[in-house]
Homo-oligomer: A and B are copies of this chain.
């Protein structure tokens, strides 16, 4: 039992380190749950002697990188989706992720003129318009205001947009991967607006980016003074270039396009600016020909990330972990239900980890798969009682012209081999 020799196992112990190959034969060996092999199982192979070799030391990577075995865990774009990568999107690999924090290197990107390269020492943020005193802030100036730290999801209004017209893209990375969730650090937008002094007539705010598209959006002053942040850090470190380094607007729960990156100017006005991104884009064209505008909140939504088309079931029958993400621009998630049969029967999923307002929530449903085909669905409810609708309910209300604000229930079909496909059932 005891190991008086300390760190180095002796030869006889080393011999004992034989492992069972996991396969149907081994799984039939009478174990409690079939989730491990008995040590000393007949189907054995010598364990790899990783410990015969010293590895790289602490100076090898001053800024660390993922394992070489994780090289497939990357953001991916869909080449046919856009004409040029500088005005395009890549997608978060949701099926590869755990928990609720998205690593900075895997947060989806959406640009309109590529990634601006900005020296933070030269960057300035101006506040002008209907204010008592127009101001210009350096990055150092901003860091003299009180800071706050908040975990928020950011979802593009066009996330799942291709699915309005039926199942299109085979993988949650592509159907739902325009969402990420990080901890932001920055200053309250309210505080710097107060520093400039918003005049009573100031009811709208223009936020403008320093990229080549000069991305701009109009934001109601009520939201600006509520919970918006001017953020300079994500997940503890400086914003990444593709996320607006050195400064971005954080507009909790609202569509990602409003979270202006490379933020350089805030103008206070008395009406919205009617910019391209809030008129011809990011509006929902209804069957009547009229458009829903200024529908800022990203409503309650969820998706099963495992199993999913890029993450099939490879272990066969038995104990299976279903995992997914849920979120709502209205606050926390109170409940997630999961169906294995396309919505006929629902089971309460288990929400695990911190439950933070306007942040991703991780849910699980553990079940014994009998090997029959499945139609997997998840349905979230937020703290305000909103329940995620079906895609058909969305279409009945808004038609099929739009690509924005699709929070409909997603269906994955699992065949008896564990292969998963994006399908739609009515």
When chains A and B are docked, how far (Å) is the Cα of A353 from the Cα of B90? 30
Q: Residues 81-92 of chain A: 1 if any B CB is under 8 Å from the residue's CB, otherwise 0?
A: 000111111100
- Residue A74 CB within 8 A of the other chain: yes
Closest B residue by C-beta to A197: B32
List, in ascending order, chain B residues with CB within 8 A of A59's CB. Answer: 77, 85, 90
List, in ascending order, chain B residues with CB within 8 A of A270's CB. Answer: 1
List, in ascending order, chain B residues with CB within 8 A of A37's CB. Answer: 135-138, 141
Q: Are A273 and B2 closer than 8 Å at their CB atoms?
A: yes
Q: Are B75 and A19 closer than 8 Å at their CB atoms?
A: no
Q: Are B54 and A113 closer than 8 Å at their CB atoms?
A: yes
List, in ascending order, chain B residues with CB within 8 A of A235's CB. Answer: 99, 101, 103, 235
Closest B residue by C-beta to A314: B140
A residues 365-382 with Cβ under 8 Å of B?
Answer: 366
List, in ascending order, chain B residues with CB within 8 A of A55's CB. Answer: 86, 111, 113-117, 211-212
Number of copies: 2
Closest B residue by C-beta to A79: B59
Q: Are B140 and A22 closer than 8 Å at their CB atoms?
A: yes
A residues 1-49 with Cβ under 8 Å of B?
Answer: 1-4, 6-9, 16-17, 19-20, 22, 31-33, 35-41, 47-48
- Residue A222 CB within 8 A of the other chain: no
- Residue A185 CB within 8 A of the other chain: yes
When chains A and B are docked, how far (Å) is the Cα of A211 from the Cα of B33? 30
- Residue A200 CB within 8 A of the other chain: no
List, in ascending order, chain B residues with CB within 8 A of A320's CB. Answer: 144
- Chain B nearest CB from A48 CB (Å) reads 5
Q: Are B240 and A90 closer than 8 Å at their CB atoms?
A: no
When chains A and B are docked, how far (Å) is the Cα of A385 from the Cα of B69? 45
Interface hit among A118-126, A162-170, A391-399, A412-420: A118-126
* A33 touching B99 in the complex, CB below 8 Å, given contacts A57-B88, A147-B364, A212-B51: no
- Chain B nearest CB from A299 CB (Å) reads 24
- Residue A221 CB within 8 A of the other chain: no
Q: Are A38 and B135 closer than 8 Å at their CB atoms?
A: yes
Interface hit among A148-156, A287-295, A333-341: A148-156
- Chain B nearest CB from A186 CB (Å) reads 9
- Chain B nearest CB from A330 CB (Å) reads 20
- Residue A53 CB within 8 A of the other chain: yes
> Could you show 11 A-B contacts with beta carbons less than 8 Å apart?
A35-B144, A38-B136, A51-B209, A51-B214, A58-B109, A63-B106, A65-B240, A98-B232, A99-B185, A99-B236, A146-B321
- Residue A403 CB within 8 A of the other chain: no
Selected from B76, B96, B97, the residue in CB contact (under 8 A) with A62 is: B76
Q: Are A236 and B103 closer than 8 Å at their CB atoms?
A: yes
- Residue A225 CB within 8 A of the other chain: no
Selected from B20, B232, B353, the residue in CB contact (under 8 A) with A148 is: B353
Selected from B58, B64, B74, the residue in CB contact (under 8 A) with A85 is: B58
Q: Are B1 and A130 closer than 8 Å at their CB atoms?
A: yes
Closest B residue by C-beta to A319: B144
Q: Are A315 and B99 closer than 8 Å at their CB atoms?
A: no
- Chain B nearest CB from A271 CB (Å) reads 7
Closest B residue by C-beta to A71: B63
Q: Are A58 and B366 closer than 8 Å at their CB atoms?
A: no
List, in ascending order, chain B residues with CB within 8 A of A273's CB. Answer: 2-4
- Residue A128 CB within 8 A of the other chain: yes
- Chain B nearest CB from A338 CB (Å) reads 14
